[in-house]
């Protein structure tokens, strides 16, 4: 949603995508860029991947991709990141995609306070304060926020209680801000199902037997793709001016049959 029709507007639309150096976030950045957006690629540790992505996109269209580092788990970081983006854009921004997330198991009985703080910081606190800091710019553009939630925000995943609670907070934030920021800022979410398995070296690796069980419950019978999420995000930010407060599930139908896992 923009302040002027695309046929009138001369400057590119601007998007900040958190956690967009790799995986789903990178595909979101690539998808919006292919549609003419200028993208701000945020990363925490993946500097090489962020730089490579920006270089590739800038080869296609000069000065259309920028990288920004921030550890959003640090309390001051969301406000600082917002200020840096707005300094680069002259105070403009059309959309914020809250994609950055931590994901790992915290079985009941072994979860630590540090894990709680980490999972809630990345999945709930940072998206809220980044959204708050960028609201004036988004309101001026009649822009939007899209939060990458999870189907397990409403249906728990065994051994991941803290992650599920944090994503549930993000889902409620989506609905609450949609009401609070209307009518000038739309706020929606996308809830992925099984899209990409965690990387094998990560602490959140999922056992092959569990993977098979998950896929057996997907009516479409296959893993999704990052492009499925990216296209849904693009729809919400470009083609859905009368949609707000909604969380679109992209899971191959799995949530319709989901039980305890």
Please give the C-alpha separations between residue 250 and each of 27, 163, 186, 241, 254, in angstroms, as whole numbers: 15, 19, 20, 20, 9
* Beta strands at 247-250 and 186-192: parallel, antiparallel or unpaired: parallel
In SS3 terms, 167-228 reads as: HHHHHHHHHHHHHHHCCCCEEEEEEECCCCCCCCCCCCCCCHHHHHHHHHCCCCCCCCCHHH
User: Is 163 marked active-site?
Assistant: yes
d(CA 25, CA 148): 10
d(CA 231, CA 228): 5
Residue linked to tokens 């914020």: 96
Out of 43, 104, 163, 242, the active site residue is: 163
Q: How many CB atoms lie within 10 A of CB 195?
A: 18
What amino acid positions are annotated as catalytic residues? 163
């Amino acid at each position: 949603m923009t302040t002027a029709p695309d046929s009138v507007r001369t400057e590119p639309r601007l998007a900040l995508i958190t956690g967009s150096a790799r995986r789903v976030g990178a595909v979101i950045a690539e998808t919006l860029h292919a549609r003419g957006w200028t993208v701000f690629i945020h990363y925490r540790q993946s500097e090489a991947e962020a730089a490579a992505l920006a270089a590739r996109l800038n080869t296609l269209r000069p000065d259309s991709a920028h990288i920004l580092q921030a550890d959003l788990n640090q309390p001051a970081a969301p406000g600082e990141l917002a200020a840096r983006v707005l300094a680069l854009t002259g105070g403009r921004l059309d959309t914020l995609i809250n994609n950055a997330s931590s994901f790992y198991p915290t079985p009941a009985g072994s979860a630590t306070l540090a894990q709680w703080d980490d999972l809630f910081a990345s999945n709930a606190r940072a998206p809220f304060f980044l959204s708050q800091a960028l609201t004036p710019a988004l309101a001026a553009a009649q822009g939007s926020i899209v939060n990458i939630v999870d189907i397990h925000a409403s249906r728990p995943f065994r051994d991941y209680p803290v992650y599920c609670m944090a994503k549930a907070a993000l889902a409620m934030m989506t609905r609450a801000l949609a009401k609070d920021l209307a009518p000038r800022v739309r706020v929606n979410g996308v809830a992925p199902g099984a899209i990409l398995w965690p990387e094998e070296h990560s602490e959140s690796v999922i056992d092959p037997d569990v993977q098979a069980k998950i896929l057996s419950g997907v009516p479409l019978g296959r893993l999704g793709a990052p492009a499925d999420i990216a296209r849904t995000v693009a729809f919400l930010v470009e083609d859905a001016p009368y949609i707000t407060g909604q969380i679109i599930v992209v899971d191959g139908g799995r949530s319709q049959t989901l039980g305890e896992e």
